[in-house]
Structure 1
Amino acid sequence: MEEKPPPAISEENPLDAGGCDAAFAGRAGLAAAAMLWPSPRHIVPGDPGDANARNMIAIVLGGVGLLVWLYLLLGNGGFWRLTEHDRRFVPKGAQVPMGVRVVAVIPARDEADVVAIGLRSLFRQEFSGRLEIVLVDDESSDGTAEVARACAREEGAEERLTVLQGRPEQGWTGKLAAMDRGVAHVLSSGVSPDFILFCDADIAFAPGLVERLVAGAAARGTVLSSLMVKLRCESLAERWFVPAFVFFFQMLYPFPRVNDPKSPVAGAAGGVMLVRPAALEEAGGLQQIRGALIDDCALGKLMKKQGPIWLGLTDDAWSLRPYPHLRDIEQMVTRSAYAQLGYSPWRLAGAVLGMGLVYLAPPILAFAAPEPAAYIALVAYLLMAQSYMPSLRFYGRNRLGAFALPAVAACYTWFTLLSAWRHTRGRGGAWKGRYQAP
């Protein structure tokens, strides 16, 4: 019988041509754990020192995981409880000030398939102030600008829409250059609006969301108010990976700490960001973060120096962008994962080690290590699952899926490694034909 050659390893994915096989990874992990921490019947008589050393290693690893999960549940701003929501953002009785003017600035690159839906949702806002829209077409090749103009005509809102042509700028990421082009146009009239609403072209809004967001920002005096929109969670890949994406984001940027003026933690979610133009100008404008790949969190950090900011979840703004396959999730994550680590190999190594200790070690030790390490690891595993359940519930998923978080985390770790690999190949920050990482 002719021997089949091994599968080719692609340049895009050098370590694994077949994706992330969580089941295989789990079996391999259990096998490795069994080698390190054999059951008592496999220990050679007369060699208790070696077994004790392995048991102690297991106890230490399990203990580290337990301590981390105790901190994440009892500290870290209680991020996992999902307490920060836009319906709690508006103080009782708060209203939109009379005569308030908001200009939405929307950077758009090849968004012809979704831009009309997002624009229509803005044109139809039940807003007591004035809402205008500036769309910056970032060298689209699919007729995005024409679709936007046609939508405005259909809605009878041509006077409310301005379409500008964006262009790449040296030292700027494409999205930030488009946003800055929109801001410059808005401020060029000499009459600054009360708020600028940065939003993505693939976001749709419930009718009263802008009213609620502006009322909350006016009452709280925030210089930046941001919403993490509801991502699509329909395909198999989305159901497994989207809730975890939101969970990990909140773990890195705990919303309660972002919203605490005394905390140095700052962040934002780029889909919906309501900014006070005067505060943005005082901060030096978008030029201060022109090269940031993770532009929303960079803007959050910049604006928190000017005053209070707020970040929360919402059910009333949602992403229109689908992620039908695992490959689509991978591309979303790899675009900026290595940038999150500051393009540092040392931070990358620390992140991989940390993910292994915090997410993979607890379930492996719980089922393969001897007592008492197994019990310690089991408690850590249960705490991990408990912390993830609110995110699953928010996305309408079965809470039992929380016990699969280690496998999902393993895939995200792989995505992070892949992000670093692509950066070394000059393909970092890939977005619609552009490679934007430094």
Structure 2
Amino acid sequence: MASPIAVAVRAGAVVSIYGAVVAAVNARTLPRLRAEPVTEPVTVVVPARNEADRIAGLVADLRAQTLLGTLRVIVLDDDSTDETAEVSTRAFGGDSRFALVRNTQAPEPGWVGKTAACRRAAEHAARLVDRRGPGVLVFLDADVRLTSDALAAGVTELRRTRADLVSAWPRQDSGTGVERLIQPLLCWSWFATLPMMLANRTTRPSMAVACGQILVFDAAAYYRIGGHAAAADSFTEDLDMARALRRRGGRSVVAAAQDRITCRMYHGPGPLRAGYARWLWSAFGSPAGSAAVTAGAALTYLVPPVAMLIGRGRTRGWGAAGYIAATASRLIARAVESGRRPSPRDVLDAAAHPASIVGLIGLTAASHRDRRLGRLRWKDRVLG
């Protein structure tokens, strides 16, 4: 009879191999964006709080968009304590398609900052509807960067798939070593878990995937579910908006944006830790849910490499198989996310996957601790 350790190693390796198979299938079947001319109105909403060092770059990208008949952009300055409003206005350069809306109020009870800002901007957008109908409503984070046909490509995918929401997954860029360990997990976490050919077709809320850095909505569907009120108190509002759509029978679709849309969320370990701490406590439903998920991650992605190093016989072989499969799934996910073959740096990052899992477990524990102690803050706001 196999020992409990051998059974654990084999179980972890099997799950890891499953992830590699799913990633390989997703690499062949996940939709890629392609751009065609768009004639319907497109309204872009950018919630911006303390984004003075980033907003001008995004505005420049938006001013350069092509293949769009009607484009309107609303930048909502969400009670910033820096010069976000002034920098935005200068970046508009008198372009009549752009408008700045200033909010000086704290989020209402039951709302978090981003969802409240998106709601206010969307309400403003609703007043701009012309006789051709509401068209498409796009929510963009200020740290996103776009090629000139990126918005047209997102709208093209929305209409091609007849979806209510397209989450165009950006390439996640990283600078420091800590970013390179953690950021690729965002894509990998679903890419090596869910067969997206099925997830993109079903309306099951449990199979929803979304990235709030850019969300391309059919505007009528967005307002039909009550807008961001559907996720008012959520720190993972992107997922909860997609789930709300699906509960109403709508469809959300994920497509690889690759080089068309990129984002560097955090610059260095401090901002990364604060960014993940604000929401990881809520990611798995409860502290017990977080404990179960992190235990499963440890079994799948930490036990096999340890067995590969110190195990013997078949146990060592299963450990090696699990570690290689995890590395492969990371590389496949990164190749699709980036739109290019893995670089030597990508290979090294993937090989450090066990360290990434340790880092994620640590960030999850820190998030729960900081929330319990009332220490969660983001962009100079105390989080409840």
User: Normalized against structure 2, the TM-score is what?
Assistant: 0.89
What's the CA shift for 1:278?
A: 1.2
What's the CA shift for 1:228?
A: 2.0
Secondary structure in structure 2 of the residue aligned to 1:275: strand
Alignment of 1:6-155 (within 5 A): 56-75=3-22, 78-79=25-26, 81=27, 83-87=29-33, 95-98=36-39, 100-153=40-93
Contact 1:77 1:254 in 2 (8 A): no
What's the CA shift for 1:262?
A: 5.4
Secondary structure in structure 2 of the residue aligned to 1:119: helix
Whole-angstrom CA distance in 1 between matches of 2:333 and 2:166: 22
List alignment gaps of at least 5 residues for structure 2: none
Residue aligning to 1:164: 101
Alignment of 1:225-236 (within 5 A): 225-236=166-177
> Residue 199 and residue 254 in structure 1: after superposition, are their counterparts in 2 closer, same or farther (change >3 A)?
farther
Contact 1:77 1:255 in 2 (8 A): no
Q: Say yes or no: does 1:197 pair with 2:143.
A: no
Match of 2:251 among 281, 291, 308: 308
Contact 1:198 1:274 in 2 (8 A): yes
Residue aligning to 1:435: 382
> Residue 358 and residue 290 in structure 1: after superposition, are their counterparts in 2 closer, same or farther (change >3 A)?
same
Match of 2:305 among 355, 358, 363: 363
> Residue 254 and residue 111 in structure 1: after superposition, are their counterparts in 2 closer, same or farther (change >3 A)?
farther
Whole-angstrom CA distance in 2 between matches of 1:222 and 1:352: 33
Q: Say yes or no: does 1:296 pair with 2:296.
A: no
Alignment of 1:306-385 (within 5 A): 306-314=249-257, 315-324=259-268, 326-342=269-285, 344-385=286-327
What's the CA shift for 1:339?
A: 0.7
Secondary structure in structure 1 of the residue aligned to 2:151: helix
What's the CA shift for 1:362?
A: 0.2
List alignment gaps of at least 5 residues for structure 1: 1-51
Q: Determine which structure has more spread, i.e. the larger CA radius of gyration.
A: 1
Match of 1:250 among 181, 191, 196: 191
- State the AA in 1 paired with 2:174: C
Whole-angstrom CA distance in 2 between matches of 1:387 and 1:162: 43
Q: Deviation per CA, 1:353-382, whole angstroms, max 9, x where unpaired? A: 112211110011122123222222221122
> Residue 129 and residue 267 in structure 1: after superposition, are their counterparts in 2 closer, same or farther (change >3 A)?
same
Q: Say yes or no: does 1:410 pair with 2:358.
A: yes
Q: Deviation per CA, 1:240-265, whole angstroms, max 9, x where unpaired? A: 33223331253466644431235541
Contact 1:58 1:369 in 2 (8 A): no
User: Normalized against structure 1, the TM-score is what?
Assistant: 0.78
Residue aligning to 1:184: 123
Secondary structure in structure 2 of the residue aligned to 1:204: strand
What's the CA shift for 1:183?
A: 1.0
User: Which of the pair is proportionally richer in strand?
Assistant: 2
Q: Deviation per CA, 1:27-68, whole angstroms, max 9, x where unpaired? A: xxxxxxxxxxxxxxxxxxxxxxxxx8xx61221111111221
CA RMSD between the two structures? 2.3
Taking only the aligned residue pairs, the percentage that are identical comes to 24
Whole-angstrom CA distance in 1 between matches of 2:209 and 2:334: 22
Whole-angstrom CA distance in 2 between matches of 1:65 and 1:58: 11
Whole-angstrom CA distance in 2 between matches of 1:358 and 1:404: 14
What's the CA shift for 1:294?
A: 0.4
- State the AA in 2 paired with 1:259: N
What's the CA shift for 1:436?
A: 2.8
- State the AA in 1 paired with 2:256: L
Whole-angstrom CA distance in 1 between matches of 2:346 and 2:22: 26
Contact 1:134 1:164 in 2 (8 A): yes
Q: Number of paired residues?
A: 371
Q: Deviation per CA, 1:65-84, whole angstroms, max 9, x where unpaired? A: 122123323358945x3752
What's the CA shift for 1:136?
A: 0.9
Residue aligning to 2:370: 422
